[in-house]
Amino acid sequence: TTLRAYNFNAGPAAVPLPVLEQAQKELVNFKNTGMSVMELSHRSKEYEEVHNRAITLLRELMNIPDTYEVLFLQGGGSLQFSMIPMNFLQEGKTAHYILSGAWSEKALKEAKDFGETRVLASSKDANYTHIPTDYSLEDIKDGAYLHITTNNTIYGTQWNEYPTSPIPLIADMSSDILFKEIDVEKFSLIYAGAQKNLGPSGVTVVIIKKDFLETARTNVPTMLSYSTYAENNSLYNTPPTFAIYMLSLVLEWVKEQGGVKSIQKNNEEKAKYIYDAIDNSEGFYKAHATEDSRSLMNITFTLPNEELTKKFLQEAKERQFIGLAGHRSVGGCRASTYNAVPKEACEALANFMTEFKNQN
Amino acid sequence: TTLRAYNFNAGPAAVPLPVLEQAQKELVNFKNTGMSVMELSHRSKEYEEVHNRAITLLRELMNIPDTYEVLFLQGGGSLQFSMIPMNFLQEGKTAHYILSGAWSEKALKEAKDFGETRVLASSKDANYTHIPTDYSLEDIKDGAYLHITTNNTIYGTQWNEYPTSPIPLIADMSSDILFKEIDVEKFSLIYAGAQKNLGPSGVTVVIIKKDFLETARTNVPTMLSYSTYAENNSLYNTPPTFAIYMLSLVLEWVKEQGGVKSIQKNNEEKAKYIYDAIDNSEGFYKAHATEDSRSLMNITFTLPNEELTKKFLQEAKERQFIGLAGHRSVGGCRASTYNAVPKEACEALANFMTEFKNQN
Ligand SMILES: Cc1ncc(COP(=O)(O)O)c(C=O)c1O
Ligand SMILES: Cc1ncc(COP(=O)(O)O)c(C=O)c1O
Ligand SMILES: [Mg+2]
Ligand SMILES: [Mg+2]
Ligand SMILES: [Mg+2]
Ligand SMILES: [Mg+2]
């Protein structure tokens, strides 16, 4: 059997083992073409099948209506921070941002270069321990859009229910896309770098409502205009073909698991192991997030002091637990339990946490 | 032995077989980490070694001085068309473009959105059969930069010697980077999507002179500013880690071949097979490029008529020659003989061409 680490990386992150095995099997000779999938022309029939299969699967798994486009871009979530205001922050309008963590702040910062912005709500003063609830959607009626970050990778908080926004709702779902069933129609634009729940880094998925796309500014450079991707099935220029291929395999895997509903059930069970280890530790472990805002994707917690934290991380490493150090900006510990992280890994981590607590 | 097609794709294109085999071998378990290379955090020691190895190898192979940065971006050559003027077309200055094919035209088109541009020379009226020579560098002294496309992928022409420009010289080397030894110091900025001579699609290499970088505009979105990449060793956000890994393997392979000098000798021999088949065909095959502008990377040619072209492509396909149809915008045939295309493939193609000519 293959040596597998317990991979709790925050992104790039774990990829399902059967997906890696299939990619390995056909890496040199894809479907008897005598070529690797990465050697195929992006204009070939064989590649277009891979490309369109990824789109079809995402539509099916997320129940995306025909009134939306599914696009593949490059540049990660970070380039979206600029592309969104570049395309949708119209002159004379205001873009509204709800700040729930470091990534929302970065998204806001880029928007400021393109026009008027407003922080509708923020939990910064509470050290981003919860999703802001203290705002009204009444007075944003004329805004360009409302931007939220559905899962806060660094702080370990997550939205439970999404706002019903009177203006186009844009969501950064980089770290929780496809983790549970959602109603896509609440959103005008959803974006996510693939490297957490969807596969490897190098491709960004954008799901955009067609009638919202029609409102985009037109004086945008070709490669930074969403229309370019929509009009060319994301094949205007050479797409990151291998990353899209991996995405297609990950989506096949999600489907084989029984779809997003099953994935969600799994994710709930996985997170429960670890949150239970925290909650039953008599205060040895403390969750960063308040209970109502706990993330099922990134579980952040602290130990009584720096010394114990270091010892915990060291012993974890010796047992092949990878990626448990908290983000350099907040410290502590973080376990990222994305879709591809197996239940066994979470159970093993919970057991180790309890064992470590008992011995320290 | 592995089934291998004769891959003459224009990009994405052939990758060296030993590179694919190594990637396959370690795809599921990279260096005994218990993870695939695509599952590594981009902040991990293991990944940073891969990343820095790619930079070091490119520096070594191309003899890039310390006065230059080597950067990894996303978005392909096409995003560079916009990033260059966005960063370097200063107010009140003019950007000069030499048009040698469809890609130069596209580069120019994007620049027009950012400021003054001028076509210094163009061979469009000659259907881009040659590299323009009819221009003077005297009167561009105050220009922002001079942009050239060193190899014209679609038309099959290539610069032999590069101009000694009085203003910063910028080169799109997407389809011929690393094909022969060049003097990097003639250039202020070189860019290339990896998917022809460097590996898979999804990563763009930029080689930029540090003192030129210092002249860049500052009001540029974070992800579209070259400084962001230079200041963060191309790790400001998540890079396309797997594509960079493949790049590092391709560069190792180039080194094992004896470096760029050996690659160049190979490329000359490879192209000679096919150009000889054209030149010895008594006019059955006609090269699109004039003799002084012939590309060693993309060999473009026509047959006496449409019917024979179709028949040629059909029979070629049956013999596992892939990617020989000319670009949809010019028709005819094109054989792309990038670094990774084996000599045997070129010899086999030349033999087939001669055989086909004799029988038709
Ligand atoms: C919620 C969220 N948004 C955006 C980003 C930035 O993504 P990228 O590194 O792909 O630019 C991240 C990265 O972790 C993230 O977690
Ligand atoms: C010379 C040249 N420049 C730019 C491009 C565009 O590259 P990309 O598809 O990576 O945007 C190409 C693509 O073939 C090319 O050949
Ligand atoms: Mg965060
Ligand atoms: Mg479409
Ligand atoms: Mg061309
Ligand atoms: Mg540097």
Point out the ligand nearest to the CA of residue B330. Answer: 5
Q: Give pLDDT, residue B328.
A: 80
The tally of CA atoms less than 13 A away on the side-chain side of residue A83 is: 29
The span from the CA of B120 to the CA of B97, in Å, is 6
Q: How far is CA A89 from the centre of its chain?
A: 23
Query: Phi and psi (nearest 5°) for B344?
Result: -60, -40
The span from the CA of A149 to the CA of A104, in Å, is 6
The span from the CA of B249 to the CA of A313, in Å, is 32
Q: Give pLDDT, residue B75.
A: 98
CATH number assigned to the domain with residue range A18-256, chosen from the 4 options 3.40.640.10, 3.40.190.10, 3.40.120.10, 3.30.1280.10? 3.40.640.10
Say whether the peptide bond before residue B12 is cis (omega within 30 degrees of 0).
yes
DSSP A11: S
Distance of residue A27 Cα from the nearest chain B Cα, in angstroms: 6
Q: What pLDDT digit, counting tens, does each position of A291-322 carry?
A: 999 999 999 999 999 999 999 999 999 999 99
Q: What pLDDT digit, counting tens, does each position of A252-266 carry?
A: 999 999 999 999 999
B2 touches chain A (CB under 8 A): yes
A78 with B237: Cβ contact below 8 A = yes
Could you state, in order of their start, the residue ranges of all structural domains in chain B? 18-256, 259-359
Structure tokens at B323: 């990617």
Q: Is B242 in the pocket of ligand 2 (CB under 6 A)?
A: no
Q: Give pLDDT, residue A205.
A: 98
Q: Is A238 in the pocket of ligand 2 (CB under 6 A)?
A: yes
Ligand-binding site membership of A238 (annotated) = yes
Measured from the Cα of A153, ligand 1's closest atom is 16
DSSP A210-232: HHHHTTS-S-S-GGG-HHHHHHT
Q: Is A114 in the pocket of ligand 1 (CB under 6 A)?
A: no
Which residues of chain B from 67 to 86 reach within 8 Å of chain A, CB to CB? 74-79, 81-82, 86
Angle CA B185–B188–B192, to nearest 5? 100
Please give chain B's pLDDT, 360 residues, in tens: 678 999 999 999 999 999 999 999 999 999 999 999 999 999 999 999 999 999 999 999 999 999 999 999 999 999 999 999 999 999 999 999 999 999 999 999 999 999 999 999 999 999 999 999 999 999 898 999 999 999 999 999 999 999 999 999 999 999 999 999 999 999 999 999 999 999 999 999 999 999 999 999 999 999 999 999 999 999 999 999 999 999 999 999 999 999 999 999 999 999 999 999 999 999 999 999 999 999 999 999 999 999 999 999 999 999 999 999 998 878 899 999 999 999 999 999 999 999 999 999
Reference B243, options B37, B5, B33, B9; nearest CA is B37
- Protein residue whose Cα sits closest to atom 10 of ligand 1: A76
Q: Give pLDDT, residue A328.
A: 79
Cα-based distances in Å from B112 to B86, B171, B223: 10, 18, 21
Contact predicate A349/A343, CB 8 Å: no
Three-state DSSP state, A8: coil
Measured from the Cα of B195, ligand 2's closest atom is 10
Which residues of chain A from 276 to 295 reach within 8 Å of chain B, CB to CB? none
The span from the CA of B287 to the CA of B280, in Å, is 12
Identify residues whose C-beta is under 5 A from ligand 5, the ion: B 101-103, 152, 154-155
Q: Is A295 in the pocket of ligand 1 (CB under 6 A)?
A: no
Average pLDDT of every residue of chain A: 97
The span from the CA of B80 to the CA of B147, in Å, is 12
Q: Which residue of A has its CA nearest to B113?
A: A221
Q: Give pLDDT, residue B359.
A: 97
Letter for the amino acid at A90? Q
The span from the CA of B113 to the CA of A291, in Å, is 50
The span from the CA of A274 to the CA of A195, in Å, is 22
Three-state DSSP state, A7: strand
The span from the CA of B311 to the CA of B31, in Å, is 48
Q: Where are the alpha helices (DSSP H) in B3-122?
A: 17-25, 45-62, 76-88, 102-111
Active-site residue A172, yes or no? yes
The span from the CA of B38 to the CA of A20, in Å, is 10
Is residue A33 predicted with pLDDT exceeding 90?
yes
Percent of chain A at pLDDT exceeding 70: 100
For B15, which of A39, A221, A240 is closest by C-beta distance?
Answer: A39
Residues near B219 by beta carbon (within 8 Å), at least 6 away in sequence: A113
Q: What pLDDT digit, counting tens, does each position of A319-349 carry?
A: 999 999 998 778 899 999 999 999 999 999 9
Three-state DSSP state, A256: helix
CATH number of the domain located at residue range(s) A259-359 in this protein = 3.90.1150.10
The tally of CA atoms less than 13 A away on the side-chain side of residue B187 is: 26
Q: Which residue of A has its CA nearest to B5?
A: A34
3-state helix/strand/coil string of A53-118: HHHHHHHHHHCCCCCEEEEEECCHHHHHHHHHHHHHCCCCCEEEEEECCHHHHHHHHHHHCCCEEE
A166 touches chain B (CB under 8 A): no
* b/e burial code for range A102-111 (CB count within 10 A of at least 16 → b): bbbbbbbebb
User: Nearest 10 degrees: CA dihedral of B165, B66, B260, B185?
Assistant: 10
Contact predicate A146/A109, CB 8 Å: no
B38 touches chain A (CB under 8 A): yes
A35 with B86: Cβ contact below 8 A = no
Q: How far is CA A142 from the centre of its chain?
A: 29
The span from the CA of A62 to the CA of A69, in Å, is 13
Q: In what order do the strands lie in the sheet with A68-73?
A: A68-73, A204-209, A189-193, A169-172, A145-149, A94-99, A116-122
Query: Phi and psi (nearest 5°) for B266?
Result: -55, -45
Residues near A359 by beta carbon (within 8 Å), at least 6 away in sequence: none
The span from the CA of B136 to the CA of B120, in Å, is 8
Phi-psi bin for B233: left (phi > 0), alpha (psi -120 to 50), beta?
Answer: left
Strand partners, B148: B171
Strand partners, A294: A157
The tally of CA atoms less than 13 A away on the side-chain side of residue B139 is: 6
What mean pLDDT do residues A96-116 have? Answer: 98
B39 with A76: Cβ contact below 8 A = no
Distance of residue B219 Cα from the nearest chain A Cα, in angstroms: 8
Chain A residues close to B32, C-beta within 8 Å? 3
- Protein residue whose Cα sits closest to atom 15 of ligand 2: B174
Q: Give pLDDT, residue A329.
A: 78
B150 touches chain A (CB under 8 A): no
Is residue A28 predicted with pLDDT exceeding 90?
yes
Q: What pLDDT digit, counting tens, does each position of A73-93 carry?
A: 999 999 999 999 999 999 999
Q: Give pLDDT, residue A19.
A: 98
A237 with B32: Cβ contact below 8 A = no
Q: Which residue of A has its CA nearest to B114?
A: A221
> Which of B153, B176, B179, B197, when mutated, tests ligand 2's pocket best, judged by the most ligand atoms within 8 Å of its CB?
B153
Centre a 10 Å sphere on the Cβ of residue A13 and count the other Cβ atoms it contains.
30
Query: Phi and psi (nearest 5°) for A99?
Result: -95, 115
| Mutant choice from B201, B218, B228, B250 vs A, greatest count of A C-beta within 10 A | B201
Three-state DSSP state, A252: helix
Q: Is B156 in the pocket of ligand 2 (CB under 6 A)?
A: no
Is residue A1 predicted with pLDDT exceeding 90?
no
The span from the CA of A188 to the CA of A213, in Å, is 9
Q: Which residue of B has its CA nearest to A219?
A: B113
Three-state DSSP state, B183: coil
Q: Give pLDDT, residue B356.
A: 98
Rg (CA), chain B: 21
Residues near A344 by beta carbon (within 8 Å), at least 6 away in sequence: none
